[in-house]
Amino acid sequence: MTPRSTLLFCVALLGNASMPAFAATPVSVTANTAIAKTMDSYLQTTFKPDLPGAAVLVLRDGRPVLSKAYGKASLELNMPMRADAVFHVASVSKQFTAAALLKLAEQGKLDIHAPLSQYLPDTPPAWAAITLSHLASHTSGIPNLYALPAMRAHFREDLTPAQLFAIAKDLPLLATPGSQFHYATINYTLLAMVINKAAGKSYEAYVDEQFIQPLGLKHTLFSIGNALVPGLVTPYAAGPSTVDFMSHHLGYGGGSYYSNTSDIATWTLALQGGKMLSPASLALMNTPYQLNDGKQVRYGYGLRPHTLNQAGYIQSNGDIPGFHSETVYLPKARVFVALLHNGEGVARTGLQGMVKRLALIATGQVYRAPQAIALDTAKLQAYVGLYQNGGETGKITLEKGKLYAAFSANSPALPISALSATEFFYDDNPDFRLRFVLREGKAVSAHWVEMDALNDEQDAVLARVEAFSQAK
């Protein structure tokens, strides 16, 4: 339920192989392909054998390039991750809700441009202009409930959709509907309530009938309660340690599903192949939404459309405590990547960037791991200090001849290594860089750079403050 914008400043963010059901012949890193070896080497930089791990699947033209597991599914049981392991996929679930909404529109059972009040009559007067389309594109103006301090007391409660609706409608809108993008899972909870009414059955029953059963998604399960989920991995907080419990009822409609890489791949290829929706409906999912003033936001319906190297790049991600899911689909190259992770430490070093790198390697781009150079302690001292971006203050410290960067109050200090006197990379994800501007031999700013940035992304610039000598 956490959008990418909240991760940008957390830069100090960012087994046993089992083949997906659709693979005709086993293909894995052991197939001795150069691309698979490159990907495997890249992933091993980040995912360590004795820590929470990941299941990774990369396809090109519908065939596996890499299917492999890294790290542990359970630390307590010393259980290795499996490539077919099941994870809570959080906001990746929004694709199902958006597709269900559009399928009902195709069936003539609802109008996506109709006001929400037509389906949920108990909406407040301030919501009169909110349409189903505004909800699907996160342009309704309704605040994100889970970013509100007052909601933290309810994180363990199994609140019903009606109770979440009641909380939301008492809040003032952040903007006129259709004028701004404000990511909020409550939008999709409200859409699930509309789907319940329009379909004449529960939201989950309709999704199951229209998509999960026809595609044979045997590892994709709706659950907001305490159901046993076969193959489910254990989620971990940073440390690693036991993750804080958060009721999955809070994500109804916007984060309700468990799945694995194989099922997500099957779903994505069917959806993007035009087998689930009409071309017009699919275009609404894959196209940036246009605001009232004509500007576009990088969200369609349930998906995040971008461009990378001037080509289409369809992204979906999901984040809740202990579970992080990243998927991308490159329509032109017909490349799909899914990475599912059951921890928190790696998430701070950029799973989105990792998936992007895997996609580019799958298209044939050559990847060479960066080679660090040595700088003496006196030179490294030039980067130590406090750095600010907006309301956030972070720091770079020097410990035993090594620089560590932490660029938010709650993020740990992560080691960085020098490529040159002005550019450093994060040791556990070399695609994330810090480019420094030096003046009289001392850093005055650090430009956070994600290698191969999407064409519509802007990287953060971190200004070094004068009180750098106070950094500890």
Return the pLDDT at 10: 32
pLDDT in tens, 66-96: 999 999 999 999 999 999 999 999 999 999 9
Mean pLDDT over all residues of the chain?
88
pTM of the predicted structure, to 2 decimals: 0.86
Task: Assess whether pLDDT exceeds 50 at residue 284.
Answer: yes
If pLDDT is split at 50, 70 and 90, which confidence band does 362 have? very high
Distance CA 256, CA 104 (A): 19
Return the pLDDT at 409: 61
Span 183-209, average pLDDT: 98
If pLDDT is split at 50, 70 and 90, which confidence band does 255 have? very high
Return the pLDDT at 247: 85
For 279-309, give one letter per residue: b (16+ CB within 10 A) or e: eebbebbbebbebeeeeebbbbbbbbbbebe
Task: Assess whether pLDDT exceeds 60 at residue 411.
Answer: yes
If pLDDT is split at 50, 70 and 90, which confidence band does 369 have? confident
Return the pLDDT at 132: 98
Return the pLDDT at 410: 66
Return the pLDDT at 349: 55
CA distance from start to end of the chain: 34
User: For the ranges 277-291, 351-365, 456-470, which has the lowest average pLDDT?
Assistant: 456-470
Return the pLDDT at 367: 85
* Alpha carbon separation from 311 to 61, 308, 329, 360, 457 (Å, rounded): 17, 5, 11, 12, 14
pLDDT in tens, 18-30: 333 333 333 333 4
Return the pLDDT at 15: 28
Return the pLDDT at 30: 40
161 φ, ψ (degrees, to nearest 5): -55, -40
Return the pLDDT at 415: 92
Task: Assess whether pLDDT exceeds 80 at residue 366.
Answer: yes
Return the pLDDT at 428: 81
